[in-house]
Every structure is written in structure tokens, then in C-alpha cells.
Amino acid sequence: MKKRIVKSSDPLQRGYCYTLTAPAGKRFDPEFKPQLTPQQMLELGMFGGVYFYGKGAVDEYPKAWFKNIPIIEKRDKSLNYFNVNASQPMSAWVKKGWIYADDPRGWVQWYFRYYMGRRIPKEDARQIHRWKMMVRHIAQIKRKCVPGDVSCNPRQRQALLHWAYDSRKF
């Protein structure tokens, strides 16, 4: 694969560039098996439409991912698949040390870039570890809910969608 440089026009990260070294959607770490692609996550609805706010925030990604996806500045939980707010404000993410300098919007930004082919070994390992820790929520849903009842634990299910787990299937 020919390496390609991507320049971000995200207002939270002016002047940032990164290199794609893997084909899109391929060569993932063997321990990282997301159930949803970035486009599927967006189509299902996440973060109440505010995750990629700001002019230029989505320009580095394939346009097809954002076709018919509303991007707004004030959270609207009705845009989430489960119609609930299931995320903390970004200020909480920063306070907890979850934000990495190369991905100021957090895990989803890391995943979208990873999916496109960017690799940062140490950060990739950290984020994949965080992704794997979400299985505790899957276990709770399986323990508390009747299989197929997607109305059970909607906040946990929505949060899992934010982490590329297809919580409609538990």
C-alpha cells in the first residue's frame, strides 16, 4: 500500500497531519475486532449529533460516512439510536486523562483514523485496551436483560454503540 498523508482541518487540531500506513478497514490488531464500522456507528446515531461539531471537523474522512448525518452544536438525544444521552462531556474525558494529544475528540476520533489506516503503536495499544474494557457492559446487559430486548439498559447499549459494539444484538 502506498502511504498517504492526511491533513486534518478539525478546528480542535489545526495543522495536524498523519500518515495512513494500512488499507482502510484492514490490518487491525488481532485483539481489536470492532463490530461496527465508523459509517455504521454514524448511521445508528451517536453523541447526540455533536461529536464532530465545528467547520471542517469531518473533512478528513470519507464523505460517504457522513451522508445524511446531522452534525449539530447542541446535543440532541433523539439523534442517538436508543434516544438517550449516554456520554459525559468532553471536560470529564480530559479530567480523567482519556484524551490523547493526536486525537483531541477522544476514542471515536482515534477509531475513525485507525480504521482509515493510521497506526500509532503505543496509542493504538492503549485505545484497544480501553475498547476491550467495555465488555463489562456487555456482560451486564446479558445478565440483566432478556435476549433481544433492546429497551433494556438503553444507556449502556448506547454507550457500547459509541465503542463500535453492536449492542442491538445482545
For 68-90, the pLDDT digits (tens) are 888 888 889 999 999 998 887 77
The answer to whether the CB of 110 falls within 8 A of the CB of 127 is: yes
Region label for 154, one of left (φ > 0), alpha (ψ between -120 and 50) or beta (otherwise): alpha
pLDDT, tens only, 128-151: 999 999 999 999 999 999 988 999
Q: Strands, DSSP E only, in 8-126?
A: 17-20
pLDDT digits (tens, 9 = 90+) for 41-74: 999 998 888 888 888 899 999 999 999 888 888 8
**pTM for this model (two decimals):** 0.93
